[in-house]
Amino acid sequence: MEIADFQRTIEQIYFSRDSARGLDGTFRWFVEEVGELARAMRGGRRDALGEEFADVLAWLSTMASICGVQLEEAARKYEGGCPKCGKTPCQCPGG
């Protein structure tokens, strides 16, 4: 699935409810999901990682939609490598 397809799918499933909740409330749900991902990583729950990453991506996607940002376009920031040094892998000092 392409990033744009994923974002459209999440919009079809959740956009009405998430946009009614607003960006602040939706951001709070996103932070909660990031916490669940952190707990899965710290707890070594490899079986839960895929699900938790998917949830974080879904909430990030819905926030982008609320803000009018297309994630696939935004991701192009990294097409040429590191946005600062332009290298792959990054060659920035201290990076």
Q: Cα–Cα distance between 94 and 59 in angstroms, integer?
A: 31
- Looking at the domain assignment, is residue 62 inside a domain? yes
- Looking at the domain assignment, is residue 85 inside a domain? no
Range of the domain at 71: 3-78
pTM for the full predicted model: 0.89
DSSP structure string for the chain: --HHHHHHHHHHHHHHHHHHHHHHHHHHHHHHHHHHHHHHHHTT-HHHHHHHHHHHHHHHHHHHHHHT--HHHHHGGGTTS-TTT--SS---TT-
- Looking at the domain assignment, is residue 52 inside a domain? yes
Total domains present in the chain? 1
Question: Could you tell me the CATH number of the domain that includes residue 16?
Answer: 1.10.287.1080
The answer to whether the bond into 83 is cis (omega within 30° of 0) is no
* pLDDT tens per residue across span 12-41: 999 999 999 999 999 999 999 999 999 999
* pLDDT tens per residue across span 26-84: 999 999 999 999 999 999 888 899 999 999 999 999 999 999 999 999 999 999 999 99
